[in-house]
Amino acid sequence: MIRTTEQDSNYTNIDQMSVLEILKGINNEDKTVP
């Protein structure tokens, strides 16, 4: 079955990331929004 509303996370190790790393990732994701 293909999930149309979910996709694999780009951050599989988010529990091991620092707050700064998470915020940088969020900022980079925001840059991809048109």
Quote the CA–CA distance of 19 and 25 in Å, as a whole number.
10
Quote the CA–CA distance of 26 and 21 in Å, as a whole number.
9
Q: Which helix (H) or strand (E) holds 22?
A: helix 19-31
Report the pLDDT value the prediction gives residue 32, as an integer from 0 to 100.
92
How long is the chain?
A: 34
Closest CA to 11 of 3, 2, 21, 20: 21
Predicted model pTM: 0.64
Across 17-30, average pLDDT: 95
Report the pLDDT value the prediction gives residue 2, as an integer from 0 to 100.
67
pLDDT tens digits, 3-17: 667 777 778 889 999
Map tokens 């790393």 to a residue.
21
